[in-house]
Structure 1
């Protein structure tokens, strides 16, 4: 991570901004991020492989914005570690104002909220303006951790000129509902993250896969539904075959399966994995049908959880709960 593009210093991976190069600059979404600067928080959500991290990393590079990048993970259950890493990160982001921020000592736990507010007040005084703080993979924070309350309290005292961008596979958590109600959060969701036809065509061209018939391209766009990882997996498979996508339905199957296995099947419990394997072949599935097909009384809970966490599961607005898996997932 560095305070400016091209001025990176060695740091732990937890506070290192991802390096991006040779990627497709998504000007449409850059405009949405620009428009979101009028609000203190932007929430970017979408399934794995939708390009959230690449989007924001390329945006702060393109706009030459000073940035602090924080990778959220299971370890943030320990909020003392969070304050430690944030102190390390701010010293790298503003080296000319090098100042030690306090660590979370046991005596501060009695009023963690007050400590958090004072910490972020001092923290923000050290940062230049404008400044961007990114919390990547926010869905990895344990639900029962005080980390969420710490983030909420910290946001409450950040001054104008500091924007916070959250990247998550999940929707806005309850701890930030107040900001959402007050109109203080701008959102970029899965509908926005999906590549348009023009964007897909440009991405394929940059990947060296531009010898594609109109029917082939239409098929590819329909199957991937603008999912970045799906487009890239199929493009890379096509490159290995000489750059032509003559039969998209036959390309990338193993690569797509491996991706879903790593991002979903390996990260869910046994009951959910079995549920997915029994239902994924259906184009659409009602909760009542899923219950009969799987003999599971938790069908509604499983499907709503997959949808809430952007696990390639869409809920259709209707009188009864009907879900649809991403075409490549089937």
Structure 2
């Protein structure tokens, strides 16, 4: 008997209604659909997951999500979840691959990926699959299989990977071939206009432009830093209010 799949790994994280729209980044992601792989590689707290979640909600393409963790370093478990994620938007895909994964203890990745690639080729429309927290994957066989898949990926599927570090994949090769769109920590940092919108609209702090600039300089637009600074300002404002009651 196979273990049941954890369905929450397929849930697209919610986006707050007060979120600052990152139109410049969303446009880059939309343009990236001309290639095979989208990689967002940046430290924790940079907004990778939020950006991808927001993007999927505004795109017209069918999309799926898979949140990875250390337990997914088993190749059979990883590819079982991978196919199951694809099935969230196309229920009939990957039956042959899943059957092979269940019947063989250590199948070669070519044997089960070729049927999957062929099925993806037969799809009538394009779709997106997000692999979140890919830094959790350290198993070399998974990286090798992912390289094989991406090297032969049909145009019907676009993979988006979010990771705290660059994965051990042939990124330079795909970049030269215009098959890779990559966003890094510098790309994800808030501009001054985005910081102003975050502080005064999302957090409703009504700070002066001079104060916003000071926060921007101090945090360098790092999202987690902006959130901490905004919370600190909000707490100080509340404390001052209580003192003067």
TM-score by length of structure 2 reads 0.83
CA distance in 1, matches of 2:89, 2:183: 26
1:24 equivalenced with 2:23 (yes/no) = no
TM-score by length of structure 1 reads 0.63
Write out per-residue CA displacement over residues 41-61 of structure 1, whole angstroms, 9 at most, x where no aligned residue: 111111111111101110110
Write out per-residue CA displacement over residues 91-117 of structure 1, whole angstroms, 9 at most, x where no aligned residue: 32124x467343315647353223223
Aligned length: 233
Residue range with higher mean Cα deviation, 53-62 or 101-110 = 101-110
Q: Secondary structure at the match of 2:214?
A: helix
CA distance in 1, matches of 2:103, 2:221: 48
Aligned residue among 110, 115, 119 for 1:113: 110
CA distance in 1, matches of 2:94, 2:174: 30
Aligned residue among 49, 54, 58 for 2:54: 58
* Counterpart contact for 2:131–2:160, Cα < 8 Å: yes
Write out per-residue CA displacement over residues 136-157 of structure 1, whole angstroms, 9 at most, x where no aligned residue: 1111111x43111121222233
Aligned residue among 131, 138, 158 for 1:163: 158
Change (3 A) 1:98 1:156: closer
> Root-mean-square deviation (CA), in Å?
2.6
CA distance in 1, matches of 2:117, 2:238: 51
Change (3 A) 1:98 1:117: closer
Shift of 1:185: 0.6
Residue range with higher mean Cα deviation, 86-95 or 181-190 = 86-95
* Counterpart contact for 1:200–1:226, Cα < 8 Å: yes
Aligned pairs for 1:91-170 (under 5 A) are 91-95=87-91, 97=92, 100-103=95-98, 104-105=101-102, 107=104, 109=106, 111-122=108-119, 124=120, 129-142=125-138, 144-170=139-165
Write out per-residue CA displacement over residues 156-179 of structure 1, whole angstroms, 9 at most, x where no aligned residue: 332113211111111252444432
Aligned pairs for 1:1-330 (under 5 A) are 12-22=7-17, 23-95=19-91, 97=92, 100-103=95-98, 104-105=101-102, 107=104, 109=106, 111-122=108-119, 124=120, 129-142=125-138, 144-242=139-237
Residue segments in structure 1 that go unaligned for 5+ positions in a row? 1-9, 246-330
Shift of 1:78: 0.6
CA distance in 2, matches of 1:59, 1:94: 20
CA distance in 2, matches of 1:221, 1:49: 16
Q: Secondary structure at the match of 2:140?
A: coil
Higher relative contact order (CA 8 A, sep 6+): 2
Shift of 1:243: 7.0
Shift of 1:12: 1.5
* Counterpart contact for 2:126–2:157, Cα < 8 Å: yes
CA distance in 1, matches of 2:114, 2:134: 20
Write out per-residue CA displacement over residues 242-284 of structure 1, whole angstroms, 9 at most, x where no aligned residue: 3799xxxxxxxxxxxxxxxxxxxxxxxxxxxxxxxxxxxxxxx
CA distance in 2, matches of 1:150, 1:15: 21
* Counterpart contact for 1:94–1:128, Cα < 8 Å: no
CA distance in 2, matches of 1:234, 1:108: 51
Change (3 A) 1:91 1:162: closer
* Counterpart contact for 1:70–1:134, Cα < 8 Å: yes
